[in-house]
Amino acid sequence: MKYHFKYSKEGPVFWAKCVELDGCFTQGKTLDELKENMHEALNLHLDEPANSKTAFAPPKKSVKGRNIVAVSVDPKIAFALNLRHLRAARGFTQKETAKRLGLKNLFSYQRLESSKTANPELMTLAKIKELFPEFDLDEVVGL
């Protein structure tokens, strides 16, 4: 999963703003520092929101223009974000989704929607893919 940043230089400082996410921006003294800061700012912005109903805009497949950089999301954050998007698109609650996936309890599902605890077993991934056929692992790992 990759979001896009547009960057420019003002005086001695580079700055960048995420094209798809309002309020996600950063700066750096060098282009290399800016690239590191874009990755950090993106992941901090997307990391588990305060409630499970928060949904961020998905990234665009591509963005054209000058000074555009694609920035990868950490896989755990991308996994949790993708799962939350798919659940919400179907109108499922977390409890419903846990039941449909055959998980023991709601907490087991909530762990999957948290970047801090998302680490699904292979069988859970298979169940997620069955429930959400459009779930794209390549996108989660940034391929």
Q: What is the pLDDT of residue 50?
A: 55
Q: Say whether both 81 and 26 belong to one domain.
A: no
- pLDDT, tens digit, for every residue of 76-128? 999 998 998 899 889 999 999 999 999 999 999 999 988 888 889 999 999 99
Q: Say whether both 37 and 89 belong to one domain.
A: no
Q: Say whether both 106 and 130 belong to one domain.
A: yes
Q: What is the pLDDT of residue 69?
A: 94
Distances (CA, A) of 20 to 5, 46, 68, 130, 132: 8, 12, 12, 29, 24
Residue 47 confidence class, pLDDT cut points 50, 70, 90: confident
* CATH number (domain holding residue 94): 1.10.260.40
Q: What is the pLDDT of residue 139?
A: 84
- pLDDT, tens digit, for every residue of 13-26? 999 999 999 889 99
Q: Say whether both 9 and 61 belong to one domain.
A: yes
Residue 54 confidence class, pLDDT cut points 50, 70, 90: low
Supply the mean pLDDT for the chain. Answer: 90
Q: What is the pLDDT of residue 61?
A: 87
C-alpha to C-alpha distance for 79 and 137, rounded to whole angstroms:
8
The structure's pTM equals 0.84
Long-range Cβ contacts of 105-111 (<8 Å, 24+ apart) = 110/52
Q: How many domains does the chain have?
A: 2
**Cβ atoms within 10 Å of 75's Cβ, excluding its own:** 16
Q: Say whether both 14 and 65 belong to one domain.
A: yes
